[in-house]
Amino acid sequence: MNDLVKPAPKVLEIGDDAAGQRLDNFLQKVLKGAPKSLIYRIIRSGEVRVNKGRAKPDTRLAVDDRVRVPPVEVEVQRANPVAAGAVRAGEGFPVLLEDDSLLAINKPAGVAVHGGSGLRFGVIEALRAARPQARFLELVHRLDRDTSGILLLAKRRPFLVALHELLREGRIDKRYYALVKGVWPHEAKHHIVESLASYVTQGGERRVSQATHEGAREAHSVVSVAKRYAEATLLEVTIKTGRTHQIRVHLASAGHPILGDDKYGDFEANRQAAKAGLKRMFLHAARISFLRPDNGERVRIEAVLTAECEAYLGTLSRYARPA
């Protein structure tokens, strides 16, 4: 059953942790669970004030700004079981590394990194609820809901900004394991450089495809074989760019979709894999490494394959090289 919470009117003073944020993003954190439509409405109606004046959703906040937040009704929904487990001392998300600036967790498959698209609760909301004393906690990057593995979060805004710059410059090495249908034909490292563009299906679902039109963005994946099986291939994929669904679309377009991928995969191959125990998409963020922007030290984080993925690999027959 849902609860209704009525926040009291308040004037919030912006500190270092919130400086530089857009007004709409700031309000999303203050009014937890509020839909974006409500946030845009109260901004445009003038109910939200910055330094006693009207503001726009993209207004950048500065230190010592005073933001008036009106009383609104926010529907707070119960977390799903996995997220609720995370709220209880964070036990649902194993911590791989943590210090004053960085938090790295091992995200399970089936959990969105943030609320939205009908979801009120995701990893970031669960972690904030589990750490009410944290002054700042933001996603550094994202993983698809059905992808498991390493997820980075920043605990200080300057560190977040610096990591985003490293991502834009391609200086964070991110490697994934993907189990694909069939025998991957390349022995050496294979580069896939194909531009991608998103679109919306007639059913309202967001998809991505390879494209050449003006709005498409170049995507670069480097693929090598980790292990061969008779009917599938375990690939290690390094992404040089971070486009939405990049690995999934690149591998599917190469004729070797990821097993368990319900958007770009092979229906029959997925059905057979599910019968053998694979109930998820076999895509796992296995390793991240980079030089810390604050002290120059090398960070290397690894997350082993999940038990479900390892168990499914155990069902596959070994690859026999052709004579």
C-alpha 57/C-alpha 51 separation (Å) is 15
Phi, psi of 57 (to 5 degrees): -60, -30
pLDDT value of position 153? 96
C-alpha 162/C-alpha 128 separation (Å) is 21
Q: Which residues contact 267 (CB under 8 A, 6 or more apart)?
A: none
Q: Using CA of residue 26, residue 31, residue 36, residue 39, what is the dihedral sign?
A: negative
144 is catalytic: yes
Name the residue among 288, 203, 282 with its Cα closest to residue 248. 282
In degrees, to the nearest 5, what angle opens at C-alpha 19 toward C-alphas 16 and 25? Answer: 130
Take residue 277 and report the two structure tokens written for it: 């125990």
pLDDT value of position 322? 56
Domain limits, CATH 3.10.290.10, in the chain? 3-76
Is the whole-model pTM more than 0.85? no
pLDDT value of position 73? 59
Are residues 259 and 316 in contact, defined by beta-carbon separation less than 8 angstroms? no
Q: pLDDT over 90 for what percent of the chain?
A: 54
C-alpha 316/C-alpha 310 separation (Å) is 10
C-alpha 188/C-alpha 204 separation (Å) is 39
Average pLDDT over residues 155-167: 95
Are residues 213 and 198 in contact, defined by beta-carbon separation less than 8 angstroms? no
Average pLDDT over residues 235-252: 94
C-alpha 224/C-alpha 20 separation (Å) is 40
Domain limits, CATH 3.30.2350.10, in the chain? 81-160, 173-313
Take residue 57 and report the two structure tokens written for it: 């959703």
C-alpha 79/C-alpha 291 separation (Å) is 36
Look at residue 205 and tell me whether its pLDDT is greater than 80: no
C-alpha 157/C-alpha 175 separation (Å) is 25
More confident residue, 38 or 223: 223
More confident residue, 165 or 119: 165
Q: Using CA of residue 149, residue 147, residue 188, residue 250, what is the dihedral sign?
A: negative
Take residue 226 and report the two structure tokens written for it: 């980790």
Q: What confidence tens digit (pLDDT) does each residue in 26-76 have?
A: 888 788 667 777 888 889 888 899 998 999 988 999 988 999 988 875 443
Using DSSP, state whether 69 is helix, strand or coil.
strand
The alpha helices in the chain, defined as continuous H runs, are 23-30, 36-44, 81-87, 123-130, 157-168, 246-253, 267-275, 307-313
Q: Which fold has domain 81-160?
A: Pseudouridine synthase (3.30.2350)
80 confidence band (pLDDT: 50, 70, 90):
very low
pLDDT value of position 155? 94
pLDDT value of position 157? 94
Structurally, at CATH architecture level, domain 173-313 sits in: 2-Layer Sandwich (3.30)
276 confidence band (pLDDT: 50, 70, 90):
very high
Structurally, at CATH architecture level, domain 3-76 sits in: Roll (3.10)
Are residues 176 and 143 in contact, defined by beta-carbon separation less than 8 angstroms? no
More confident residue, 119 or 305: 305
Average pLDDT over residues 159-168: 94
320 confidence band (pLDDT: 50, 70, 90):
low
Distances (CA, A) of 252 to 125, 196, 203, 207, 256: 32, 13, 21, 13, 5
87 confidence band (pLDDT: 50, 70, 90):
very low
Please tell me which residue in 17, 58, 65, 144 is annotated as part of the active site.
144
Are residues 93 and 148 in contact, defined by beta-carbon separation less than 8 angstroms? no
Using DSSP, state whether 100 is helix, strand or coil.
coil
